[in-house]
Structure 1
Amino acid sequence: MKKIVITKILFLLSLCIYAQQEPQYTQYMYNPILVNPAYAGSKGHTSVYGLYRAQWVGLEGAPQTINFSMNKPINASKLGYGVSVINDRIGPSDEAQIAIDLSYSLFFGNDYRLAFGIKTTANLLNIDYNRLNQYNPGEVVLQNNISNRFSPNIGAGLFLYNKKGYFGVSTPMLLDTKKYDDIANTDVNQRYHLYFMGGKIFDLGSNIKFKPAFISKIVSGSPVQVDLSTNFLINEKFTLGAAYRWSASLSAMAGFQINDKLFIGYGYDRETTKLSGFNSGSHEIFMQFELFENFCNCETPRFF
């Protein structure tokens, strides 16, 4: 019975952590629309992105994330829009999210643009307690699975950019939603996250471009999370880079521009915390497809 009680406590604590933390990505710089709606349409053409992330491989119930997104400008206007679908699984919980983004851009000198964006999301939460390992399989420990619990939300963002760099601030979910857990008889709060991001491109020669970038996430009641990354683009084809998530992990990244339209990439994270002894790291693969319209005069490949 003591083991069962401890298991329940640990599980409920993990639910709280999960509810307050949105999915994290190592290669965030290639698809900022996931956290900043103002990015929609900023490339000047249709951009399609897909990603799969397996976090903490080897740890039972570790997070797995799949996302797919598309964004493009609206012809002959200052507007852009995007659609994203995300599925995030951790332990017995499975959450799906559909988001629609809309942006409006202002044009300034030196090719600078300032975009304002809004995001609307619909979330469906499922929790199957039967996935939990029980010490006494014949004893009912947890009941009342959660099925398709719906919660809407809204978000907003700013994105300042030109051909050589960008800076953004956003909060994908402005509302603090409560997901009632009738087993624990308490509320699990999903708090809003505030993101800051930025990056700059430096030409180191005719065949090498260097891009340092960062993203910072602030959540009430949790430590500030900061990701620092460096990427090198070689011969407009190969990308090599590294990243550091403050007091959490080290990462290596690589990518290849197959042609003007298709880019694929891979990232590997290794924990620097005590958790490293319980998993073999995190893996992240993605693809990015660019569809250039006839009216688009765009640089390719673009670094963000």
Structure 2
Amino acid sequence: MGLLVILVVAMLSSRAQQDIQFSQYVFNPLFINPAYSGYRGDTYISGIYRQQWVGVPGAPRTAAASVDWLVPGREERMAFSAKVMSDKLGPQNTLFASGGYAYRIPMDELGAKRLCLGFGVGITQYTIDGQAFKYVDNNDAAVPVGKTNKLVPDANIGVYYYTPKWYIGLAANDLLSTSTADVKYTWSAQTFRSMERSAHLYLNAGFVVPLSATVKLKPSFLWKEDFKGPSNVDLNAFFLLHDIVWLGGSYRTGLRVWNQAKLQKGLESTDAIAAIVEVYATPTLRIGYSYDFTTSKLNPYQNGTHEISVGMRVLSKKAERTLSPRYF
């Protein structure tokens, strides 16, 4: 119970929060970059569920789903997407929904290399449930009563360039957060701030190299930055076996890159190590699982993080699409 109180107080007292980051984002970057829409060449439906810090009361639980599709055309230049996400932490819940558009510019005659520009707009509902709080004294003025919520608009933009062998992407999310700093709730002269997030910048890149006729290696990285807290960096590496099974992992750490005078000194740099497996149960159905080993001082108080994902590619009428592998 004590740890839950620490988590809740830390979240409520902060002006802005870190974006949710899935360990398996590498298999669907649409969750961080709207310009990724249409990359797979067909309609793609994806879902993911993450239960963080198992064993900690009120620990984060996140569920998300997305769909993206190409607009029929000779050069397949346009694509759309839709995303929904629910994130629950103790008495707080954030529900997000958005729609996105991407314009895909062919950079060669076959369209295998493209520069994609994307943007998205949406809305976020922030909710605090006072009934989820536990207290000792009845009628404590510091404990909110009942449930209340606020709606806030949101926007994101991105650019994504890919070839058959490598890719690079840059995206900015939660762009309207700075204009919604007044999102807060008040009970009995007590002010509680929501889970409102700050604007984030994402830079990611990766490539695929064949090691043999049946084995490929895919290294990648993601840099996540909000210019307020430590910079977060993910280093990933996966082996693809027979174009069916992905085996690999991710190392997540925090770096102090900028001169941030207000940033607390002595913060831990290590965060987590994730073991990840993805399997193509059929040529169009992907199933994934990851387990995060927490490497920070929180490790003794929790039992790891579980994440399950599923993705389904809905093939178009062009049969040749099934012969085109998608590594990113």
TM over 0.5: yes
In 2, Cα distance between equivalents of 1:266 and 1:67: 15
Counterpart amino acid of residue 326 in structure 2: R
In 2, Cα distance between equivalents of 1:104 and 1:146: 41
Match of 1:89 in 2: 88
Matched, 1:241 2:248: yes
In 1, Cα distance between equivalents of 2:294 and 2:302: 9
CA contact (8 A) 1:208 1:233 kept: yes
Gap regions ≥5 residues in structure 1: none
Q: Give 1:5-20 correspondences, 5 Å limit.
A: 11-17=8-14, 19-20=16-17
Secondary structure in 1 aligned to 2:230? Answer: coil
CA contact (8 A) 2:11 2:17 kept: no
The two structures have a TM-score, normalised by structure 1, of 0.92
In 2, Cα distance between equivalents of 1:266 and 1:100: 27
CA contact (8 A) 1:45 1:296 kept: no
In terms of mean alpha carbon deviation, does 102-111 or 51-60 score higher? 102-111
In 2, Cα distance between equivalents of 1:196 and 1:221: 17
Match of 1:259 among 259, 278, 282: 282
Check 1:182–1:100 CA distance in 2 against 1; reply closer, same or farther (3 A cut). Answer: same
Secondary structure in 2 aligned to 1:185? Answer: strand
Secondary structure in 1 aligned to 2:300? Answer: helix
Q: Give 1:165-204 correspondences, 5 Å limit.
A: 165-175=166-176, 176=178, 177-178=180-181, 179-183=183-187, 184-185=190-191, 190-204=197-211
In terms of mean alpha carbon deviation, does 128-137 or 247-256 score higher? 128-137
CA contact (8 A) 2:4 2:57 kept: no
Counterpart amino acid of residue 31 in structure 1: N
Match of 1:99 in 2: 98
Match of 1:124 in 2: 125
In 2, Cα distance between equivalents of 1:84 and 1:10: 27
Residues 124-166 of structure 1: CA deviation (Å, up to 9, x unaligned): 1111022122133564541254533100111100000022221
In 2, Cα distance between equivalents of 1:296 and 1:97: 35
CA contact (8 A) 2:4 2:58 kept: no
Counterpart amino acid of residue 148 in structure 2: S
The two structures have a TM-score, normalised by structure 2, of 0.85
Residues 18-50 of structure 1: CA deviation (Å, up to 9, x unaligned): 942111111111111111000011111111100
Q: Kindly, what percent of the aligned residue pairs are identical?
A: 29
Q: State the shift of 1:220 in Å.
A: 2.5
Matched, 1:31 2:28: yes
Match of 1:163 in 2: 164
In terms of mean alpha carbon deviation, does 239-248 or 176-185 score higher? 176-185
Match of 2:223 among 216, 219, 223: 216
In 2, Cα distance between equivalents of 1:15 and 1:139: 17
Secondary structure in 2 aligned to 1:229? Answer: strand
Gap regions ≥5 residues in structure 2: 254-269
Counterpart amino acid of residue 162 in structure 2: Y
In terms of mean alpha carbon deviation, does 291-300 or 99-108 score higher? 291-300
In 2, Cα distance between equivalents of 1:301 and 1:65: 29
Counterpart amino acid of residue 234 in structure 2: D
Match of 2:315 in 1: 292
Q: Give 1:127-138 correspondences, 5 Å limit.
A: 127-137=128-138
CA contact (8 A) 1:38 1:117 kept: yes
Q: State the shift of 1:7 in Å.
A: 8.8
CA contact (8 A) 2:4 2:90 kept: no
CA contact (8 A) 2:174 2:197 kept: no
Match of 1:277 among 290, 300, 320: 300
In 1, Cα distance between equivalents of 2:59 and 2:325: 34
CA contact (8 A) 2:131 2:145 kept: no
Match of 1:79 in 2: 78
In terms of mean alpha carbon deviation, does 123-132 or 108-117 score higher? 108-117
